[in-house]
Amino acid sequence: VSSDDQVQGTSLDTQLRECRAAITRAELVPGEVFADEGESAKSIENRPAFLRLLDHVKAERPPAVMVHKIDRFARNNLEAQIVRSKLFKLGCSLLSATEPISDDPSGKFMFDVLSAVAEYDNRVRAERCRRGMVSQVEQGWWVHVAPLGYINARTAQNKPTLAVDEDRAPIIAEAFSMAAKGIPQVEILQMATARGLTTRSGKRVTPQPMSRILANPAYAGFIHGTLAGG
């Protein structure tokens, strides 16, 4: 599933239940379960469970992999074709609990169609999302990841905006104050490190990220990016 809301709901349970029912109908024996919770299917690189599945197939050579739908398998047509080909070479069929795909010509054609439709649907969703973000940017709302020193927040009207990160903002402010006085960046970074400035993942801020912070026009109240037109 591709969102935390789906993870908290019943989508995963429903998919698993229907996959197990399809496995029984196919007279196969259930095996390992691989579920990417809250990860998009548009690229396999960011799906740890999917990658573990591929490793499992290489090591254990199961006769088939059952997915709920092709758009849960992949939303990139090229990736879907490549991975399906790899499975086939390992003697592993790709089956869908809800769609008529198979290894015969008609089943392969159906897979091609469904894979292309999944990618098309993903592109339509992405364009719709982009237009919505452009509209919000034009209205002055913040739709990007918050720069260090701020956090992403919502207004009372549920509009995306920025709020001050009480822990990091004073350090960022001091960094800009030092930069305005012409103090070298190496000293600014030393100050920030001494005061405990870290990234959101808890890592120490290194010279390159500090350069980006000091060059980021967002701290001066400007939005810069492709959504804003440059």
| Verdict on whether the full-model pTM lies above 0.85 | no
**Amino acid in position 18:** E
Average pLDDT over residues 159-179: 92
The predicted model gives 23-39 an average pLDDT of 86
Spell out the residues 6+ positions from residue 147 whose beta carbon is closer than 8 angstroms to its own. 213, 216, 218, 219
Tokens linked to 155:
């207004």
Q: What is the pLDDT of residue 20?
A: 93
Say which DSSP state 202 is in. S
Structure tokens at 170: 């004073």
Q: How far, in Å, CA of 75 to CA of 2, rounded?
A: 11
pLDDT-based confidence at residue 230 (cuts at 50, 70, 90): very low
Provide the pLDDT for residue 3: 53
User: Is the confidence at residue 43, as pLDDT, over 70?
Assistant: no
What's the sign of the alpha-carbon dihedral 113, 118, 123, 127? positive
Give residue 223's pLDDT: 72
The pLDDT value recorded for residue 86 is: 92
Task: Look up residue 168 and give its amino acid.
Answer: R
- Count the residues in the chain: 230
